[in-house]
Amino acid sequence: MIIKKRSEFLFLYDIENANPNGDPLNENRPRLDAEDNTILVSDVRLKRTIRDYWFEYENYNGSDGKDIFVRETKYEKNGEQFINTGKRRAEIFKESKDKVLETCIDVRVFGGILPIKKNKFTFIGPVQFQMGKSLHQAEIITEAGTGAFASSDGKKQNTFRTEYKVPYALIGFNGIINEKAAQYSKMTENDKELLLRGIWDGTKNLISRSKFGQRPLLIFTINYKKPYYIGSLRQRLNIVSEKSEFKLRSTKDYKIDLTDMLHEISNQRDKIDSIEVRCDNSLNFLKSGEDYNLENKTYQVNEL
């Protein structure tokens, strides 16, 4: 069934001693907002996480009529392998936008531009993310080391390497699912389930050397009765800790104050159908200065 109602969600995850999103134009350092010393993560990075999960674990790998449109594929010419252009990728689907939408979950969910010969189709993705941002100030540390090999023949020393990491950061993303755009891209309720699974399990499966150390902590989804959304859910959270923000190192070091967010949800209760929560039990919450529990379940507004 194609999505007919709007949803918005808040996604929190933490990272320990790793690089959440390197900037290729700045020596692959973690992205940093220099004004307030918060860590930034692009929406493209989160979409990459989700796409990789779909490809590897949900079998959207070109078989059984399921595929990911935005992924590296190759073609052969004169015995050599070359990376496909977007135009060549579209040709695989016989120049049919309907075939792309039927086959490729990432276009149904995130939208895209289809460079088809007869016409160019642009689909606005029903799912949009704001730039991810840490809920507290964090630092970037430099880690130097040596490689296993020399840089060239005749050298007596190994090469040196430099890596940039974040000791710890709690990062939040705001997201929305626009039911109006879903009518055009054909995003379904099943696609929504796979999206939330891709966010959670995809983050858990970031186990490369630079990404290992990331853990999903909370997906808080608000399902609406009408075309409305509260917005800025991450900005309505507050971190409470006796430690300096720069010295936070785990979920044991702070509590998340939900007061402002839950207050606004209560104010808009007539517009909300339900709230779905998936939460790691290591997170600690506050509401109006008191300890507060969130359970893994679907809530009605008056239950929060």
Structural domain span for residue 44:
7-59+123-303
Distance separating alpha carbons of residues 50 and 296, to the nearest angstrom: 21
Residue 251 lies in a domain: yes
> Which residue in this structure is represented by tokens 């977007």?
86
The total of structural domains in the chain comes to 1
Residue 26 lies in a domain: yes
Residue 75 lies in a domain: no
Residue 215 lies in a domain: yes
Residue 16 lies in a domain: yes
Pairing between strand 141-146 and 160-177?
Answer: antiparallel
What backbone phi and psi angles, to 5 degrees, belong to 57?
A: -115, -20
User: Can you read off the two tokens belonging to residue 152?
Assistant: 């060239």
3-class SS shares of the chain: helix, strand, coil, % to 5: 25, 35, 40
Show pLDDT as tens, one digit a residue, over the chain (304 residues): 999 999 999 999 999 999 999 999 999 999 999 999 999 999 999 999 999 999 999 999 988 889 999 988 877 777 787 787 777 777 777 667 888 899 999 999 999 887 776 677 788 999 999 999 999 999 999 987 655 544 454 554 555 568 899 999 999 999 999 999 999 999 999 999 999 999 999 999 987 766 778 999 999 999 999 999 999 999 999 999 999 999 999 999 999 999 999 999 999 999 999 999 999 999 999 999 999 999 999 999 999 9
Residue 107 lies in a domain: no
Residue 97 lies in a domain: no
Residue 76 lies in a domain: no
Distance separating alpha carbons of residues 278 and 193, to the nearest angstrom: 12
Task: Specify the pTM.
Answer: 0.92
CA proximity to 239, closest of 167, 169, 299 = 169
Q: Specify the amino acid at residue 46.
A: L
Distance from the Cα of residue 274 to its chain's centroid: 22
> Which residue in this structure is represented by tokens 């959304």?
229
Three-state SS at 86: helix
